[in-house]
Structure 1
Amino acid sequence: MAAGSIVVDFPSMGAACCFSSLESLLRDSTSRFLAAVSAAPDPDLTNFRSLFSRVLNTYPDPPLEAVWFFSALSFHDAPGDLRNLLHLLSAFTASSRSVTKPLALLAPVVSELFHSAKPRRETEALVEAVLSYISICSSRGPAGGEGASADAGSLLPAFGELVKVWSVRHSRDRCPFQVLFPLAGEDARRELMREGCNVAFLAGVVVAEAFLLRLCLKVQGAAGVPRAELQKELRIWAVSSISVFQNQQFFGVLLNMLVNRPLPVYSLLSADDEILVRDILYDALILVDYSFINKGAEVDQADSSLLPLFVSRLLITHDAINDARSKGDQGRAMSFMNAFFTSNIPTYFAKWATCQAGFNQLSKPAAVTPQALLSMYRYGIMHLNFQ
């Protein structure tokens, strides 16, 4: 981000204003924007557009927050033109070295698709366009050098105010984060509200929401298809999509959704269909060994940054086994157990345990079951708390 003050001219004030940073400019502009749209249904936003057009032109790779504000101004003039919004947001990242920023920018598009009253076929086509763009961005692979630094960046503190710019069209009473991230789940929204949340996490949330929205639309459009056939078809689609995206943050958000029941799809699906989607996600997240989530888990000492991901994997495996057994489906329960035995979850927790105070060197836990590992993990946490 460029350093130094920003001088802008607000004609309505009759004088130029000097802002110490982009952060202060965004906060002031957001306040003015919200006041303008509250005072009139169709306010004149010409001055805002002119100002932010100049601001964006000063950056070779414009900050996410500035792009969001400018695109909100453009969308306000043509609400409903989601394809144009997608093109606008993607155009701003054409020269970006970041892998995650282009994905994070898509949050308003996914939100508008969720709230859209367009016919389902049109919505499906637009969601497919979003997922295709996500696939293209994902194929770039991890960026090196400057790109890696960009992907490690944090959102500006003004991010929370910018969320209101996009949520105000749909509700002034509900939590703005709930409006803009309707499929994220409470835990993910809390992390997004935390000051200093990183861009990579936002990108993972956006990909998870787009993925879940498409999955729900597929279920909605499958009336009359036998349940078993539909589950098999959508499991294949889900596994293929996860393999293409290769995004650990996205994978972690999906895991967390399963840990915290019910899935955040209550406004899109019936209770029975929510169970179907849950079963599809159990299959896709547990039965397949994805190479991209194993990076950092095969070294001598388990990468502690992966601990939340592995704990979530352990929890949903345990839940999936119990769920299958409660339904009398022993074959399905055994499939989950076999996937657990052949995964690197037991090895990861053995390595994690050896790093904690009071544990001797272990190659594998004595009892390799999800329940045993959960007990070992909880004991390890308790042991550390007593040190």
Structure 2
Amino acid sequence: MALSLKASMNSQKPNFLIGENYQISLKQSMEDLLAETQKETPNFSLSMKPFYDLIQAKVDPPLESIWVYSALSFRSHSFAKKDPLNRLSTINDLFQLVSSCSSPCNSSKSIALLAPIVFEVYKLVVEVLGKDSGSKGEKKVNIKIKSLVEVIIGYISMCCCKGFRFSDESEAIDVDLVIPVEDLTSIWIDRNAYLQSFFATGE
């Protein structure tokens, strides 16, 4: 099932997520989620709704709300079979979700939100390179990966062009995060993984 915002045409924005209440709810939701990540068997299913509401409550949602909602949506999929095409399809759905959620955002935020997607593509490429690249199945995977990478690059270019239409002030990314970047990153990787693997992807 594709990742998507399960929005209803007749649904209304949560009227309690306004002003200071919004920030309080965002911070509390983040703290609850981080507490869950520390458990041996975390259950993220109950965290989906709060972050969905946070996205719906604002035209230009905070980076954290989109980042977490997309991460939880991605984590809800099982990759037990380790099928590269299945993973690639889910990564593509993730890209569609993130680009849809961030469409009202400025170019800086839209590009920043691509970091987890690039990370997942990188991991898949490393995995595929370790297999027999001569097989028909692997060639198909390589073609589809290249296609997705081209789409992502095109999206970044489009965001950059969009940025030229706005002032420097409006394009400045909001760095007033409610939690440290390291904690945001931990939502995308396992507790025992090294954070350096996330930040070193683009090096």
The two structures have a TM-score, normalised by structure 2, of 0.69
1:93 equivalent in alignment to 2:102? yes
Question: What is the aligned partner in structure 2 of residue 180 from structure 1?
Answer: 198
Q: CA deviation at 1:150?
A: 4.6
Which stretches of structure 1, 4 residues or longer, exceed 4 Å deviation after superposition?
Answer: none
Match of 1:136 among 158, 165, 169: 158
Label 1:152 to 1:132 Cα distance change in 2 as closer, same or farther (>3 A).
Answer: closer
Bigger helix share: 1
User: Are positions 1:154 and 2:175 aligned together?
Assistant: yes
1:120: Cα distance to partner?
3.0
Residue identity over aligned pairs, in percent, reads: 25
Residues 99 and 167 from structure 1, CA distance in 2 versus in 1: closer, same or farther, beyond 3 angstroms?
Answer: same
Q: Is the 8 A contact 1:72 1:166 kept in 2?
A: yes
* 1:86 partner SS: helix
Query: SS in structure 1 opposite 2:153?
Result: helix
**Are the structure 2 counterparts of residues 161 and 2 from structure 1 closer, same or farther at C-alpha, using a change threshold of 3 Å?**
farther
Per the alignment, residue 91 of structure 2 pairs with 82
Structure 1 position 152, deviation (Å): 4.4
Which residue of 99, 105, 108 corresponds with 2:113?
105
- Count of paired positions: 162
Q: Which amino acid aligns with 1:108?
A: P
2:68 corresponds in structure 1 to: 69
Residues 164-189 of structure 1: per-residue CA shift (max 9 Å, x gap): 00122xx6142x2x122223xxxxxx
1:298-336 Cα offsets, whole Å, 9 max, x none, are xxxxxxxxxxxxxxxxxxxxxxxxxxxxxxxxxxxxxxx
> Is 2:38 the counterpart of 1:35?
yes
Deviation at 1:5, TM superposition (A): 2.7
Q: Aligned-pair distance for 1:93?
A: 1.7
Q: Residue in 1 aligned with 2:82?
A: none
**Which position in structure 2 is the counterpart of 1:4?**
20
1:131 deviation in Å? Answer: 0.6
Secondary structure at 1:140 match in 2: helix
Equivalent-residue separation in structure 2 for 1:82 and 1:101 (angstroms):
19
Q: What SS does structure 1 have at the residue aligned with 2:58? A: coil
Q: Report the 3-state secondary structure (helix = DSSP H, G, I; strand = E; otherwise coil) of the residue aligned with 1:59.
A: coil
Query: 1:114 and 2:122 equivalent?
Result: yes
Q: Offset at 1:161?
A: 0.8
Q: Secondary structure at the match of 1:166?
A: coil
Q: Look up the equivalent residue of 1:39 and give its one-letter code.
A: T
Matched-pair contact (CA < 8 Å) for 1:142–1:148:
no
Q: Distance in 1 between matches of 2:163 and 2:50?
A: 35
Query: Post-superposition shift, 1:2?
Result: 5.6
Give yes or no for the alignment of 1:165 onto 2:169.
no
Question: 1:100 Cα deviation (Å)?
Answer: 1.0
User: 2:49 corresponds to which residue?
Assistant: 50
Q: 1:134 to 1:23 in 2, by over 3 A?
A: same
Give a deviation string over 1:50-70, Cα, whole Å, max 9, x none.
121112111111111110100
Higher relative contact order (CA 8 A, sep 6+): 2
Please report how far the alpha carbon of residue 31 of structure 1 lies from its aligned counterpart in structure 2 after TM superposition: 2.2
Corresponding residue for 2:6?
Answer: none
| CA-CA distance at 1:149 after TM superposition | 3.0
RMSD: 2.6
Alpha-carbon contact 1:99-1:143 (below 8 Å) kept? no
Cα distance in 2, alignment partners of residues 134 and 67 from structure 1: 17
* Alignment partners' CA distance in 2, 1:182 and 1:3: 36
What SS does the corresponding residue of 2:163 show, helix, strand or coil? coil
Question: In 1, distance between residues paired with 2:48 and 2:145?
Answer: 28
Corresponding residue SS for 1:62: coil
Task: Flag the structure with larger Rg.
Answer: 1
Gaps of 5+ in 1: 7-18, 184-208, 210-263, 265-387
1:121 Cα deviation after fit: 2.9
Provide the C-alpha distance between the structure 2 equivalents of 1:151 and 1:131, rounded to a whole number of angstroms. Answer: 21
